[in-house]
Chain A
């Protein structure tokens, strides 16, 4: 939150390929068993089985400082440490639901390097003592599901997955489970409900999934990128990995850059570059010689930034950006908008997304998001009314009491409820005058 963070040293403007190296090097066939294994897939898994040392895995990952890449940034090794020892079976669930708007970095790994994911799953399952891992993919990832299923099949045929793996006595089965169109199933407890064959509605916490998860048993949920990183950490050593990045943002992360940039795409970035470096260096700047107007540095759910020096000079560091600018790096998506973009339209489309994806459990989220969407629709379609911006702020306050505060105050079960409020706060902060002008020009009903 507001801990002082050391100003990090500036990083070179270039990619650092670790988790995405194989797929970037062999874009056509990295997903095949032959290519992946000839490129070293499963070597670390074999090493793990040879050493048979759970503590080693734990220590390296802890030393690496790896934090979850799903958006909540929770240190992976600390999550493992919270597992209760209650004799119940433990489950490993991989979160491949990637549904946050403009987030498309896990898809690269799912479709492009399934064996890396499987290797990571095996090692993590070994670490936590789980014998059945579920890979939950968003339903729309049909190709991804095919590829992972094929990869599981090939890995099983080669003896890397299944029972008594390579004679070690260790068993792990991998079940690929497809969702069916519900963003909220990316939230870990909703994902678990969905895996249990229920409506994907988040659970009340506590208890956390790590204590009472799938089938009421202890469950580790990790993001695809997180899991894919684990073998690399073991290969290069946790300390070595921790040397990359800045402060507590160690290593690299996949950033999905989209919108009005010249070179949209997924890039593997070492933490520590500035946002300017990323947008103008890595992604090639704004296309068509336009000016940057605003951008969303961490997916759709958090506050926006604009083309100010303060914002562009901000370092890509999980804690620093939150302490200084009250927003986060979230899901790793960076959405960039040029000078011609109507921020009301973007805000409306986000509200529409959250209204569509609200699971419907909490009153403020279910009713508030729909209400915001209706008002924003009018505003962005030429029917704004003079006091609409204040109405938006009022409705937002009903969803998340301190609208302008970041991170938001939550009165709902999960953070989806207050997510559209980030867009309202951003409009108020940066575009109030523009919005008022638009509404004044609109046709009053």
Chain B
């Protein structure tokens, strides 16, 4: 369920578009930032705002890889292994982090497609904040810095930076 503040925000978002259906993606980002993932119930709620069915919202949101349909902790770590990162150490960063955080419920490590940061590859994002020029060790350090609060994370959908 959206919080009262997010309910207000949701109404504002819907009002930006000529058709409420257009607000499905932004509302899914909003719900995911609030809950840390996109739950079945959130889809139901979004369907009401956007004048459609929950099946439709599920169909739409599942098309997009940023929406997580199970809880993934506070930190989404997205490591690029596409064709530039591939040849300069991206897969090694991924493997290291996957191994390191395999049992850490607060850190969700995923392999992603090109993040448009190839000039400084290998690259990753933590909650959609860029970190570039990585090595396996420096990448781990970045994640640890977030966990320790030395770096401030966005919402898990890359929503506004937390206060």
Contact = CB atoms under 8 A, between A and B. Distances in A.
**Within 8 Å by CB, do A and B touch in the complex?**
yes
B84 A102 contact: yes
B16 A175 contact: yes
11 contacts: A99-B116, A101-B84, A103-B114, A104-B119, A139-B64, A139-B66, A140-B115, A181-B66, A195-B22, A345-B86, A349-B82
Interface of B: 16-19, 21-26, 28-29, 50, 52, 59-61, 63-67, 78, 81-84, 86-88, 112-121, 125, 127-130, 154, 157-161
Contact of B29 (A146, A178, A257): A178
Contacts of A100: 114
Contact of A264 (B59, B114, B118): B118
Q: Helix, strand, loop or mixed for chain B's interface?
A: loop
B29 A180 contact: yes
A137 to B, nearest CB: 10
A23 interface: no
A138 B112 CA distance: 13
A353 interface: yes
B23 A139 contact: no
B116 A177 contact: no
Contacts of B113: 99, 101, 183, 353, 356-357
Contact of A177 (B25, B84, B121): B25
A346 interface: yes
A199 interface: yes
B130 A143 contact: yes
The interface residues of chain A, by DSSP majority, are classed as mixed
Given A180-B157, A258-B119, 15 more contacts: A101-B118, A104-B116, A140-B115, A142-B158, A143-B130, A177-B26, A179-B25, A197-B21, A199-B63, A264-B118, A335-B83, A346-B86, A353-B82, A353-B83, A353-B114
B84 A258 contact: yes
Choose among A132, A139, A140, A199 the residue with the greatest number of B CB atoms under 10 Å from its CB.
A140
Interface of A: 98-104, 106-107, 132, 138-143, 145-146, 175, 177-183, 194-201, 215, 256-260, 264-266, 296, 300, 333, 335, 337, 341, 345-346, 349-350, 353, 356-357, 359
B24 A102 contact: no
A256 B64 contact: no
Contacts of B125: 140, 142
Contacts of B60: 197-199
Contacts of A98: 116
Nearest to B46: A197
Contact of B154 (A102, A107, A142, A257): A142
Contacts of A195: 22
A107 B19 contact: no
Given A104-B119, A180-B66, A258-B118, A197 B84 contact: no
Nearest to A184: B63
Contacts of A138: 116
A349 B84 CA distance: 10
B82 A256 contact: no
Contacts of B65: 180-182
A140 B160 contact: no
A335 B114 contact: no
B18 A215 contact: yes
B28 A180 contact: yes
Contacts of B28: 180
Contacts of A200: 63-64
A139 B84 contact: no
A140 B158 contact: yes
B16 A194 contact: no
A139 B158 contact: yes
A189 B23 CA distance: 18
